[in-house]
Chain A
């Protein structure tokens, strides 16, 4: 088999085991694997589905109205708008208008951001947020994809919107985590209101709310005083294994292969962010699993 055949089969995911063993030794595989990992960082800015839907509705109803209106009126309005936008264009440097601010973190990175009202937000690895700095005084709203810890100053309602849910608070400390197949909100102080796919729920200090693909859990007084990842550890309380391993991948910027392992089994424990070997042990030992690090991959599997 030549290089092209290998690459095509690799892309299609149809390499046989012995072919794979051959292919992983090649330079081509190394550079493809590196590229694959890097590509995960090329994602568009997070999308606020609810706000976007409102805009579509605004667009469609505007069109309907215009049809019913006398065109002369439309032209007049257009002329006024044109004048307005010309004036606006020359004045806009005096105002900073609707600047959408974005932040993102790479694998293994955390980042602290101070918001316009001095609230502080800390992003965990491979997460992104956006918000409007200019509208902040009227509307404290963050769009998040990933995981972040918030220490919110008292004031108007503060919202965190992720693909799966909406969290509303006044002033408090909490984390929101929205990852594939796993959504979690933890309250560390004050009160937090969560609207996920079920009913709206209220969380008090040290409560958490969790949704995975199959279930919704709410636990009272069940967590630590601060998220462990602020101290370079990840801590879990009966979290499905797939999410624990995904977190490991995000913290170390690696890909882990799970072989013949029940990815839904629950894991309770923690792993450090600065020592991959210890982290792998911390995950695999309690669950009676084995891990192996080679040049080309990291595997966790059942048995010897």
Chain B
């Protein structure tokens, strides 16, 4: 954001919201799952940014948001189990695609869902940002405030665990 105006400025704040709200929302979903209302948590992070708008420059807003979302503010909440949802019903699978794609799809999706939910939070967030959201290692490192090496390590660990849990698939 190449804007030297203040975060307290309405239009600057709106711009920041439009730029980062979806990223932050995805992050919170991967971290806490759908049952902990990621949209609400995202809004809370922005409300905190607004409350601190005079102390945070527009360039620092992104890291402020992810830091707030990532730290203790949420630990006060009574947390529900992490639940991830996927889009169901694989009907109409074309017949000339290899049967490998179709095989036991429902069972596979359930196993994968379970395995993802069971991952440690850090690993799940990093892994999903990379594989589901398609972010580069460098972008993830920047958002989470950790090194690129740590990102790679977490993703690999997650893959290892998932492979173990998925077994024969």
Which residues of A pack against B, CB within 8 Å? 4, 7-8, 11-12, 28, 30-32, 34-36, 38-45, 47, 49, 52-53, 55-56, 59-60, 63, 104-111, 126, 128, 163, 251-254, 273-277, 295
Contact = CB atoms under 8 A, between A and B. Distances in A.
Nearest to B33: A44
A47 B96 contact: no
B159 A7 contact: yes
B132 to A, nearest CB: 5
7 contacts: A7-B159, A34-B101, A49-B17, A56-B46, A60-B50, A111-B89, A252-B97
Nearest to B43: A56
Given A31-B163, A47-B21, A126-B87, A275 B96 contact: yes
Contact of A59 (B47, B159, B169): B47
A107 B90 CA distance: 7
Nearest to A37: B101
Given A12-B137, A49-B21, A63 B47 contact: yes
A44 B29 contact: yes
Contact of A8 (B22, B116, B152): B152
A56 B39 CA distance: 10
Contact of A32 (B38, B94, B159): B159
Contacts, number: 135
B97 A53 contact: no
A16 B86 CA distance: 33
B84 A53 contact: no
Contact of A63 (B51, B97, B155, B156): B51
Contacts of B109: 38, 41
Given A35-B112, A44-B38, A276 B87 contact: no
Interface string B136-169: 0100000000000000100110010011001001
Contact of B34 (A32, A44, A105, A253): A44
A41 B84 CA distance: 10
A11 B87 contact: no
A106 B50 CA distance: 38
Contact of B87 (A31, A41, A63): A41
B85 to A, nearest CB: 7
B131 A39 contact: yes
Contacts of A105: 87, 89
Contacts of A110: 92
A106 B43 contact: no
Interface string B99-141: 0110000001100110010000000000010111000010000
A53 B108 contact: no
Nearest to B167: A31
B101 A253 contact: yes
B43 A55 contact: yes
B39 A52 contact: yes
A43 B116 CA distance: 13
A56 B20 CA distance: 14
A29 to B, nearest CB: 11
B78 interface: no
B93 interface: yes
Contacts of A109: 89-92
Contacts of A36: 131
B151 to A, nearest CB: 10
B45 to A, nearest CB: 9
B77 to A, nearest CB: 16
A63 B43 CA distance: 14
Contact of A104 (B34, B88, B92, B163): B88
